[in-house]
Amino acid sequence: MSAALTLATSRRILTQLRHDHRTVAMMVLLPSLLLVLLRYVFDDQRAFGAAAPALLAVFPFAIMFIVTSITTLRERTTATLERLMTLPIGKLDLLGGYAIAFGLVAVAQVLVATGISLSWLGLEIEGSVWLLVVIAALDALLGTALGLLASAFARTEFQAVQFMPAVVMPQILLCGLFAPRESMTPVLEWLSHLMPLSYAVDALDQVTRSSAVDGTLVRNLLVVAACVVAALVLGAATLRRRTA
């Protein structure tokens, strides 16, 4: 791996984004707008306060998943990937470049969403705001990494778009947002343990409710981080120098 090539790749991707103002605006603002919408749907501070932390994880996760899977699929299906595979750049340099570029966008997205939730929407949290931002950003990064991986299994953009309900929705349904995970039937509870988003939502809930940074919180964060790394490495394995 080479830091210079990874950074060159991130710079290239961010430059591509810079030419596409509408996409940037949507990526940065969409989660915030959805949270504002939710606040007025509930029209109740307490109900909003219970759901919002989880959604601070869920919205960036879903948006980054779909943006990344489409962008990488585009790279895979146009000749640029084939050209890159003939050049002295490692697969992890390429995926690392994607992760850093979209990671930065995710941080911007989360900062705006958290800022608006805490000020305008009146969300109150017990723990550290920065920890909240870190967890939400890690979550967006998880969406990015899974999107990179999912793009390997899609041949067309139509298929890639459908991976969003296939990969993201079950995680949202099982993460404890709609029903507490402990109250689910054992099979579903067991499934929810397999989904990385569950750990992120647990971590966010904890930061909202208490200022303690304990073993459970650290474990949850490590699980999410490990899933990010695993998805990136698996994603690299799906990039082939030689194709049929």
Partner 1 sequence: MTSDAVVVEGLRVRRGAREVLHGVDLAVPRGSVTGLVGPSGCGKTTLMRSIVGVQVVAGGRVTVLGEPAGSPVLRGRIGYATQNPAVYADLTVRESLRYFAAILRAPREDVNRVIEEVGLGSHADHLVGRLSGGQLNRASLAVALLGAPELLVLDEPTVGLDPLLRDELWAMFHRLVERGATLVVSSHVMDEAARCDRLLLMRDGHILADDTPAALRTRTATDDLEQAFLTLVRERQVTS
CB 233 within 8 A of CB 168: no
Write down the least CB distance from residue 144 to partner 1, Å: 18
- Report the C-alpha gap between 101 and 10 in whole angstroms: 5
Helix 129-150 and helix 45-77, axial crossing angle in degrees, nearest 10: 30
Give residues 9-38 in contact with partner 1 (rule: CB under 8 A). Answer: 9, 11-12, 15-16, 19-20
CB 54 within 8 A of CB 176: yes
Write down the least CB distance from residue 207 to partner 1, Å: 37
Write down the least CB distance from residue 79 to partner 1, Å: 4
CB 192 within 8 A of CB 175: yes
- Report the C-alpha gap between 85 and 158 in whole angstroms: 25
- Report the C-alpha gap between 171 and 42 in whole angstroms: 23
- Interface with partner 1 includes 187 (CB under 8 A)? no
**How many residues in the shown chain lie near partner 1 by CB under 8 A?**
25
Stretch that binds partner 1, among 38-46, 57-65, 76-84, 122-130 (CB under 8 A): 76-84
- Residue 12 vs 219, nearer CB to partner 1: 12
CB 35 within 8 A of CB 121: yes
Q: Is 43 left (phi over 0), alpha (psi -120 to 50) or beta?
A: left
- Interface with partner 1 includes 82 (CB under 8 A)? yes
Stretch that binds partner 1, among 34-42, 79-87, 104-112, 172-180 (CB under 8 A): 79-87
- Residue 95 vs 172, nearer CB to partner 1: 95
State the CB neighbour count (10 A cutoff) for residue 46: 7
- Interface with partner 1 includes 83 (CB under 8 A)? yes
Write down the least CB distance from residue 66 to partner 1, Å: 17
Write down the least CB distance from residue 86 to partner 1, Å: 5
Contact footprint for partner 1 (CB under 8 A): 4-5, 8-9, 11-12, 15-16, 19-20, 78-80, 82-89, 241-244
